Amino acid sequence: MLRRTMLVLLLLAPVALAGAYWSGAWRPPPRWDPAAPLELHAEPNILTGWKLARMALQPETCLAAFAVSGRAVEPLPDRPSEVGCPLENVVRLDGEGIAFRPSRPVVTCPLAAAWALFERHALQPAAARHFNSRVVAVRHLGSYACRNVYHRSAGRRSEHATANALDVTGFVLANGREIRLPRDWDRAEAGAFLRELRDGGCRFFKAVLGPDYNAAHRDHFHFDRGRWGRCS
């Protein structure tokens, strides 16, 4: 009898919890609450990817993520385009103690959120592990370019056409050392660091393309928050 009562209670507990959740009477901690904005500093969990994806459909959840994370963000005005290259929901990319060279790129807010996660949970930990240092600057080739994939005259627009992608060529460490593509890809420690960034980036970006993908990416990493998942 007791065993049966325990079983019923066990079965009812999740139902009661769900009821309390939907009625608003109970909320889990924000990082486990699907309705709460993404906390960029919190350890990523099973909801992280889902909350990142939601930002593309509900732009306000992206700015909310920066707000609850105590991170400044600089939203920029939308700019319509008649040729399929609109700027919508864009911000000026910022790092935590990281400078962007030659300048701070304009990117979509979801790409900026993915970058914030990448920086904190992949880039800086990898720099600490491999070089006992931290990254203080990132060199890039730009984010926004009104063009098709691979500069073809026809075909679909690149994620760069909406500033939803960033091409990165190198990382400057606090100790002055610089790790860059393509020079360091085949060097032992630096190459392992770069591969770790690619694999770590895949947790937060939709696509990460580098030297292993094709010759067009031998000298940079392409990070984007587009629809097509690819990690190579």
- Binding site residues, Zn ion, CB under 5 A: 165, 167, 222
Q: How far is the CB of 24 from Zn ion (least distance, A)?
A: 43
Q: How far is the CB of 142 from Zn ion (least distance, A)?
A: 9
Q: How far is the CB of 201 from Zn ion (least distance, A)?
A: 13
Count CA within 13 A, CB hemisphere, residue 40: 27
Instruction: Name which of 54 and 222 has its Cβ closer to Zn ion.
Output: 222
- Partner residues linked to 46 by β-bridges: none
Instruction: Name which of 195 and 230 has its Cβ closer to Zn ion.
Output: 230
Asked if 73 and 121 count as a contact pair (C-beta separation under 8 A), the reply is no
Instruction: Name which of 119 and 167 has its Cβ closer to Zn ion.
Output: 167
Instruction: Name which of 21 and 185 has its Cβ closer to Zn ion.
Output: 185
Instruction: Name which of 88 and 219 has its Cβ closer to Zn ion.
Output: 219
DSSP string for the chain: -HHHHHHHHHHHHHHHHHHHHHHTS----GGG-TTSPP-SSSPP-TTHHHHHHHHHH-THHHHHHHHHTT---EE---B--SSS--B-SEEE---SS-EEES-PPEEEHHHHHHHHHHIIIIIHHHHHHHHSS-EEEEEEEES----BGGG-SSSPBPGGGGT-EEEEEEEEETTS-EEETTTTTTSHHHHHHHHHHHHHHTTTSSEEE-TTT-GGGTT-EEEE-SS--EE-
Q: How far is the CB of 215 from Zn ion (least distance, A)?
A: 14
Quick one: how far is CA 155 from the chain centroid? 26
Q: How far is the CB of 103 from Zn ion (least distance, A)?
A: 17
Q: How far is the CB of 139 from Zn ion (least distance, A)?
A: 14
Instruction: Name which of 36 and 197 has its Cβ closer to Zn ion.
Output: 197
| Residue least distant from Zn ion (Cβ) | 222
